[in-house]
Structure 1
């Protein structure tokens, strides 16, 4: 049971690092702003979460995900980020 708990803990830490990447201040392309503006309540997130969300949006667009899928994923990320204010 302890090995399972250690695995679960390490996996949670790994996933949090993916979600909460450290993103410096940057100027984002207009496409990022367009998608960001479509994500409900994204503008209400703290600035550091907004930068992280824009980082993830940028990566998804670079991976050529369809914009509706990026918006859906970004909404899900923004909702998860609300819990880490």
Structure 2
């Protein structure tokens, strides 16, 4: 589930806003960056509160760094 295959897409502004709050997300390999945005978008669509999305995305980014 964490390593879903994500195609190129245009991300909503909300995803970009949350993504910009994740330290070092831009240092992840491109495929992990896409996956992180995918997970942020999924959480947004599930109407999770933004602070919870940010916390979850930070945790995912840390995990993804280990697999970079």
For residue 47 of structure 2, give the secondary structure of its aligned residue in structure 1.
coil
| Aligned equivalent of 2:67 | 84
- The structure carrying a bigger helix percent of its residues is 1
Pairwise CA RMSD: 0.5
CA offset digits 1:42-65 (Å, max 9, x no partner): 111011000000000000000000
| Aligned equivalent of 1:19 | 2
1:30 is aligned to 2:33: no
Higher-Rg member (1/2)? 1
- Long gaps (5+) in structure 2: none
Q: How many positions carry a matched residue from both structures?
A: 68
| Aligned equivalent of 1:57 | 40
